[in-house]
Chain A
């Protein structure tokens, strides 16, 4: 079945460091891919998305490129801030499903000043 794998956390970085969170997926067909972010005490919210191969999603300085050949969608940011501390979820949605999203296990990020 469909699945999403993420690098294990927690990840701790200093402010202004470069961030990479790895994500790989298994799915039939051509899924859409997403990154969601969960801040403490809140629900998940969409950070960025990519709907086809080689698409790059970007938002708030975060980027991720849909790589079909490696079935990956790694999240990157050039310079993290303390306010980026959160849990990040990689996710996919198959084109044939209603609107069901398969979430990865989440990666916790802590950014220290």
Chain B
């Protein structure tokens, strides 16, 4: 079975450039999460969606970050303009909410380096 698919796996770009990270959740899942992981701050929840609707975006660091989920099978996280402090591993996860506890399934992440 296909898991959560993230692309690209690695991204290196210069500061000021726009960065778009992509996520395809597991088919049938109705919740989607974006996380950022760094050595200093650990794993941070940025935003999560339920049935394509953003439920909580309080973790989005600032206006340079935006996330969309135009349909049940695709989401993007965009950073514009990017800064070196945005360098991190970004994870997408999905789950099936509303049926007891269903675990979150994580993608393998996008390792982002902003020079």
Q: Which residues of A contact B (CB under 8 A)?
A: 32, 34, 41-46, 49, 51, 89, 93, 98-101, 103, 105-106
- Selected contact of B102 from candidates A42, A44, A89, A99, CB within 8 Å: A99
Category for how many chain B residues contact A: 20 to 34
Known: A100-B48, A103-B43. A43 touches B103 (CB 8 A): no
Cα(A34)–Cα(B101), bound, Å: 10
Which residues of A lie under 8 Å from residue B43 when comparing CB positions? 44, 89, 103, 105-106
With contacts A32-B101, A89-B43 taken as known, whether A99 is within 8 angstroms of B31 at the C-beta atoms is: yes
Docked complex: B37-71 residues within 8 A CB-CB of A: 42-43, 45, 48, 50, 55-56
A93 to B48, CA, bound (A): 14
Structural contact, A45 and B106, CB atoms closer than 8 A: yes
Q: Which residue of A lies closest to B89 (CB)?
A: A43
Q: A44-B43, A44-B93, A101-B104 are in contact. List 19 more A-B contacts (CB 8 A).
A: A41-B108, A43-B106, A43-B108, A44-B104, A49-B101, A49-B103, A89-B43, A98-B55, A98-B97, A99-B48, A99-B95, A100-B45, A100-B48, A100-B55, A100-B56, A103-B42, A103-B45, A106-B42, A106-B43
CB neighbours of B25 from chain A (8 A): none
Closest-CB distance, B15 to chain A (whole angstroms): 25
Candidates B42, B95, B97, B106; contact of A105 at CB < 8 Å: B42
Residues of A within 8 A of B4 (CB): 43
The total number of A-B Cβ pairs within 8 Å is 52
Q: How distant is the Cα of A103 from the Cα of B93 in the complex, in angstroms?
A: 13
